[in-house]
Amino acid sequence: MIKRFFALSAATLITSFALSAQQYNDGLIEKTIALIGNDAVMLSDIESEVQMMRANGLVADRNARCDLFEEILINKLFLTQARLDSLMVTPPEIQDNLTQRIASITTQLGGEKAMEEYFNKSRYDLENLWRIQIEEQLLTQKMQQDVISKIPKLTPRDIKKFAEETDPQELPIIPDQYKLSQIVVYPDKDSAATIVKEKLLEIRERIVNGERFSSLARLYSQDPGSAIRGGELGMANKTIYWPAFSNAAMALKINQVSPIIETPDGFHIIQMIEKEGDMFNARHILIKPEYTSNDRIKSFARLDSVKTLIVDDSVMTFEQAAWAISEDFKTRTNGGVMVDENTGSAVFEKDQLKPNDYNILKDMKVGEISDPFESVDNEGRGNTIYKIIKLDEIIPSHVASYETDYNSLVDMANNKNANTAIDKFIAEKQKSTYIVIDPLFSTCEFSRDGWIK
C-alpha cells in the first residue's frame, strides 16, 4: 500500500521541495513535506503514524494520510504556542504514557521482538522516538486545554438561552430513561468458593502427576476464549490482567503451575509458557463459584418476605427495607436508589442497565416492585446476586429541554463553545504562522481552509 501510494518518479519527489532528502531502505524518499513556523513535518512522521494505525488493525490509504497530515499540522500550531507560553510536561507523565503505548503495541503484535521487527527499530530507538512524540502530544493537549479553560463558564441563564436559540432538530433526542431502586441479597460466597477451590486443587494435583494442563483446561476452564486453545492466553503485557493474576504469573518459572489465585473473575490456576520482559504467555484454568438451587430458593424466599412486608403488610417502605436488609452497600445507604457508578446519575438509559435488570423492568409499571430475580453486580465481570427492584420513574423519550435535561444541554453547549474556541485559535494561527506545504500533499482535501497560501 505504501509503495503504490508513493509510486512517483524520483525526480518529482526530489524537485518538489528544495530541501534535503534521503532514501528509505524500501525505495521511498524521506523528505520535508511541510514547514510550519520553525518546525518541519517529515514524510516519515506520517508513515510512522500509518504504521501505528496498522498495528492497531486500522486501514490507511491516501485519504487517511491526508487526514493524518492535517492533524499533524494542527498539532504543530498548538505545539508552537505551548512552547511560546512555556508550558511543561513532567518526565513521569511522559513515562506513564510511553509504558502504556508499549504495553498496547506489544500485546497487539505479540511481543517485544515482533514490535522491533514490525517497526524495523530496536526497542531503545522506538522508546526515544516515542518519548519525543508523546511529549509533543501532551504539550499539544495542554495547550488545547488552556484555550478551552479561557472560555467563560456558562450560567443557567446561558443554558436556557442556548436551548431556546438552538434549532430543535439540532438538540439531542433523549431515549427512555428509568429511575429505580433495589434490594440485593448475595448467595453464600464462602461455601461456593470452598467447592471451587477443592475442585481446582484436584485438577492441579492431576497436572502435577503428569496430566496435560491444556487437556484439563479444555475440559474444565470456564473462560471460553482460552479454553478452546487449551487455556492459552497468548503473549500479552502483564498490565492487561488483574494485578493478582499478573503477579502470580510473573513469579512462575517456565512450565511451573501456580497455586490457586483469586481475581474478580473467579479462581484460577496458571501455567507459565513464556516470559519476555513485561510480557508473558500462559495457560490458565478459570472456575467461577456456582450456586445451588437451594441458595436461590433461600434468597428468593427472603426477598419474597421483604416484598410482602412492603406491599401487603405496609410494615415498612422500600427505602426502609433497603436500609435494613440489602447487602449491596453502595445502594443500601441511599435507601436502595441505584446510581450509575461512571456518571453519578440516578437516571439510566436501556443500554446502561444490566440485561437481566432491563428484562424485568420493561414490563413493570411505575411504583411496582418486581418478584425476586437473578442478576450480577458491578465487581469484575459480575458476581451472582439476587434482587428485587422498584421502578421509581419512567422518563419517556423526548427532545432535550432546559427543564428536564439541564446536564445534557450543559455538555452540548460546552462542547460547542470548546469547538468554536479551538476553530478560532487554529484560524488565527494559520494566518500568523509561516506555512509551506509540498505539492505532494497540496491536492489533499483538507477539512479546514488556510493551509495552502
Sequential DSSP letters for 228-295: TTTTB--SEEGGGS-HHHHHHHHTPPTT-B---EEETTEEEEEEEEEEETTEEEEEEEEE-----HHH
Q: Which amino acid is at 417?
A: N
How much is the average pLDDT of 63-76? Answer: 92
Say if residue 184's pLDDT is above 50. Answer: yes
Mapping DSSP to helix (H, G, I), strand (E, B) and coil, where does residue 390 land? strand
12-26, 178-192, 433-447: segment of lowest average pLDDT: 12-26
Q: 273-290, pLDDT tens digit by residue?
A: 999 888 899 999 999 988
Using pLDDT thresholds of 50, 70 and 90, give the confidence band for residue 7.
very low
* Nearest alpha-carbon partner for 230 in 281, 274, 284, 189: 284
Q: 133-180, pLDDT tens digit by residue?
A: 999 999 999 999 999 999 999 999 999 999 999 999 999 899 999 999
How many helices (DSSP H) and strands (DSSP E) are in the chain?
Answer: 18, 14
Q: How far is CA 288 from the centre of its chain?
A: 25
Q: 19-41, pLDDT tens digit by residue?
A: 334 444 445 568 899 999 889 99
Provide the mean pLDDT of the chain. 88
Say how far apart CA 371 and CA 311 lie, in whole Å. 12
Report yes or no: 436 and 452 within 8 Å, Cβ to Cβ.
no
Using pLDDT thresholds of 50, 70 and 90, give the confidence band for residue 250.
very high
How much is the average pLDDT of 54-80? Answer: 87
How much is the average pLDDT of 102-123? Answer: 89
How much is the average pLDDT of 47-72? Answer: 84
Say how far apart CA 204 and CA 93 lie, in whole Å. 42
Say how far apart CA 397 and CA 177 lie, in whole Å. 7
Say how far apart CA 82 and CA 135 lie, in whole Å. 11
Say how far apart CA 79 and CA 136 lie, in whole Å. 7
Say how far apart CA 328 and CA 184 lie, in whole Å. 6
Say if residue 11's pLDDT is above 50. Answer: no
Say how far apart CA 383 and CA 388 lie, in whole Å. 16
Q: Which amino acid is at 418?
A: A
Q: What is the pLDDT of residue 29?
A: 64
For 270-280, b/e burial (b = at least 16 CB within 10 A) is bbbbebeebbb
Using pLDDT thresholds of 50, 70 and 90, give the confidence band for residue 124.
very high
Report yes or no: 268 and 226 within 8 Å, Cβ to Cβ.
no
Say if residue 333's pLDDT is above 50. Answer: yes
For 384-417, b/e burial (b = at least 16 CB within 10 A) is bbbbbbbbbeeeeeeebeeeebeeebeebbbeeb
Say how far apart CA 179 and CA 285 lie, in whole Å. 39
Say how far apart CA 339 and CA 358 lie, in whole Å. 15
Computed over its alpha carbons, how large is the radius of gyration of the chain? Answer: 29
Say if residue 229's pLDDT is above 70. Answer: yes
Report yes or no: 272 and 249 within 8 Å, Cβ to Cβ.
yes
* Structural domains for the chain: 2-84+421-442 (no CATH), 175-187+292-398 (3.10.50.40), 190-287 (3.10.50.40)
Q: What is the pLDDT of residue 58?
A: 76
* Nearest alpha-carbon partner for 82 in 33, 28, 145: 145
CA distances from 324 to 187, 309, 314, 318 (A): 17, 12, 15, 10
In the chain, the percentage of residues whose pLDDT exceeds 90 is 70
Q: What is the pLDDT of residue 64?
A: 87
